[in-house]
Amino acid sequence: MIILFFGFFVNAQNKQLLYNFTDIPQSLMVNPGATIQNNAFFGIPALSGIYAGVGTSEVSLYDLFADDGVDFNTKVRNAVYSINTNDVQRINEQLELFNVGIKIGGLFSKNYISFGIYQELNAFNYWPEDLAILAYEGNSSNIGRAFNLSHLNAKGELLTVFHVGFHRKVNEQFSYGVRAKLYSGIIDISSTKNKGSFLTSLGVDNTYIHTLISDVEVRTSGVAELREEDVEGDDVFNILKNRALLGGNIGAGVDFGVTYNANDRWTYTASLQDFGFIHNKTDIETYTLKGEYALEGVEIPFDDIVNGGSVSADWQEIVDEIEEAFPRDTLRDAYTTMRPLKLNGAVIYRFGRKNKKVLDECNCTSEVNNGYPSSMGAQLFAETHSRYPQLALTLFYYRRLSNFFRLKTTYTIDKFSKTNIGLGISSHFANFNFYLLADNLLEYYNISNANSASLQFGFNYIFPKKD
Amino acid sequence: MPLLIKKYNTILLLILSSFLMFSCVKDVDFDQAETLTIEPVIDASLFYFELSASSVGNAPNNDITPLSVQDTTKMDVFSKPFFKENLQEAAFIFEFENTSQREFNAKIVFYDVAYNQLDEIDILINGPTISRTHRYAPSEIDKITNTEYLKLELELLPGTPLLDPNSTGALSLKSSGTFFMNIDAD
């Protein structure tokens, strides 16, 4: 069951449950300026942060694959005609290999550093509406319709990230943080700047004229070497391992974050993640299809045959012309990709009866929640993509249930869903922290019907804060 | 109080684990993907010509016979794997327009790679516009998918007047194919 569960859960990079959930040390990964509630922590290696999410707007897996007796091809038909080029499909996965944080410069220091390595996989696709319709219907029922090649817009990346973050609490009101990142790109595939069209219209000399105007480019890095025939299991692993450890494409980036406590009830936070790039230079193969050609068919030169007798139509000549019009180049030039930039912002309001006893028991600092057991607020998330940013708005409620349990629930509206309820818990037993964050709970009874879902969990050892 | 908290925790753990246990995938059958079939219909221009009456008038004795006016062209697109594996039915549409004063006969012949004749379409052009659709059912589709060469020949039918270099009008052809594909998952 659990395995199945993982199989499906691979959501958007929006980590609405983790953001501002400062009981969990990993909240520093989404805001390096987040409030810090420990003197030091270390993540249990490979188990400290496991994140997976999928999202498909408009059509869910269940819409297609439900065992409901409806003919599959009917469902495909409904899907093809209900999704358009603004719909997206995405997969995200992250795995922390290790993550450590420690206050530096003594007990009363205001400085904290954290560092670690994680691995990340992202795939993002805009539904290629026109190409899908062309493949599905053909051009016959679409005479006069120009199929837009810019609908082809997809990218995928696999990388390792080495990071070190610095956090400084300036005073009780304000803290900030910066995280420097070194990206080690393993695989990159992107095709996001395509232009052109394919049109069949009524011709002049013949029934139809077929016009292709194409400026299409697919860039790959790290794919060709793996595709070679004699590359097998162990080799693949070695190649990937080498690239993961800075042996492939190198890039750099930075995260910023701030927390501002306006008073004991109101707090504002903001962060920017992955402001950076990867320079892809290893094992590059870039495929292009650039050119223009209009075809009316093969002209039979009967006039010339009658007059001269020796000319002949030549299909091969047309084939050659077309191939010449669209030189298929495979380029090896290095290229640079920008990382998807992520922006978070939040307003937090605290309320409830201050519980002095809880405060004392947990040795929590007063600034964490200022003794209020509950808080609520709103968060905004934005992520850059090739066409337009993906946005999400979240309302949340946080409650410190006990010293051992803290809970956050979220309601998120985004492109994927208007009914996304999430629940996260952070448990603290004997300095061990276990957290589990999952969204789209309303769809839990049938996860395949969810348009998006994400799961994140991990184990940490936390040295409690004493001051 | 601590006891209460413990109770609380137990309940929470139960709720939590029940989430994990009961999250499931209901009645989903991914094998359905194997039944995927798409049936795009492709329209493509084929060949065309325009033969002016004055050109015919240039020929000695209006000698437009199959031997003198014919053209064979390589047309191996239909035998490419995409068509060979997925073409279900096809229709060829020939539209002749004749503004000359004489009648013609046109013949379209399909050959395989060894020049064996696969099919022949004869069209009598005895009016100003002649439109002919020739269909290939699934049972005879390999006539198309084996085609490597196409021959088009023209014959001027006996009649009057004799065309001369000043004759007006022309015989033209526009042709297209409609290809009914059936592309399945395997």
Of B16, B49, B58, the CB nearest to A302: B49
pLDDT at position A151 is: 94
Comparing alpha-carbon positions, the chain B residue that sits nearest to A204 is: B174
Of A139, A306, A427, the CB nearest to B59: A306
pLDDT at position A238 is: 75
Mean pLDDT comparison of A201-215, A307-321, A441-455, highest-scoring range: A201-215
B114 touches chain A (CB under 8 A): no
pLDDT at position A3 is: 30
Cβ atoms of residues A294 and A197 within 8 Å: no
B53 touches chain A (CB under 8 A): no
Between residues 13 and 32 of chain B, which touch chain A (CB distance below 8 Å)?
16, 19-30, 32
pLDDT per residue over A412-435, tens digit each?
Answer: 988 878 888 889 999 988 889 999
pLDDT per residue over A322-339, tens digit each?
Answer: 888 888 778 888 999 999
Of A72, A315, A445, the CB nearest to B74: A315
Q: How do the domains of chain A map onto residue ranges? A: 2-351
Confidence grade of residue A62 (pLDDT, cut at 50, 70, 90): confident
pLDDT at position A207 is: 94
Check CB contact under 8 Å for A300 and B71: yes
pLDDT at position B1 is: 39
**Closest residue by Cα to residue B129 from B162, B100, B160:** B100
Check CB contact under 8 Å for A447 and B33: no
What amino acid occupies position A36? I
Joined tokens for residue A198: 């394919």
Distance from CA of B69 to the nearest CA of A (A): 7
The pLDDT of residue B98 is above 60: yes
Q: Give just the sign of the alpha carbon dihedral B112, B116, B121, B124.
A: positive
Let me know if A444 is exposed, middle or buried by CB neighbors in 10 A (0-12, 13-18, 19+).
Answer: buried
Taking the CB of residue A106, how many other CB atoms lie within 10 A of it? 7
A302 touches chain B (CB under 8 A): yes
Size of interface A-B (CB pairs under 8 A): 192
- DSSP assignment of A412-441, as one string? EEESS-S-EEEEEEEEEETTEEEEEEE--G
Confidence grade of residue A45 (pLDDT, cut at 50, 70, 90): confident
Of B5, B33, B45, the CB nearest to A203: B45
In the β-sheet with B170-181, what is the strand arrangement from edge to edge? A298-299, B41-52, B170-181, B87-98, B129-136
Confidence grade of residue A461 (pLDDT, cut at 50, 70, 90): very high
Confidence grade of residue A1 (pLDDT, cut at 50, 70, 90): very low
- Cβ-based neighbours of A391, under 8 Å, separated by 6 or more: A380, A381, A382, A414, A415
Cβ atoms of residues B134 and B95 within 8 Å: no
Q: Are strands A88-104 and A50-56 parallel, antiparallel or unpaired?
A: antiparallel
**Closest residue by Cα to residue A396 from A439, A455, A430, A452:** A439
Joined tokens for residue A142: 């679409």
Reported ipTM? 0.83
Between residues 90 and 149 of chain A, which touch chain B (CB distance below 8 Å)?
134-141, 143
Is the pLDDT higher at B92 or at B161? B92
pLDDT per residue over A201-223, tens digit each?
Answer: 999 999 999 999 999 999 999 88
* Chain B contact probe: residue of A298, A360, A455 with most B CBs at under 10 A: A298
Residue in the structure block whose two tokens are 């004392």: A360
Between residues 41 and 100 of chain A, which touch chain B (CB distance below 8 Å)?
61-62, 64-68, 72-73, 76
Cβ atoms of residues A251 and A277 within 8 Å: yes
pLDDT per residue over A366-400, tens digit each?
Answer: 445 667 889 999 999 998 887 778 899 999 999 98
Cβ atoms of residues B134 and B122 within 8 Å: no
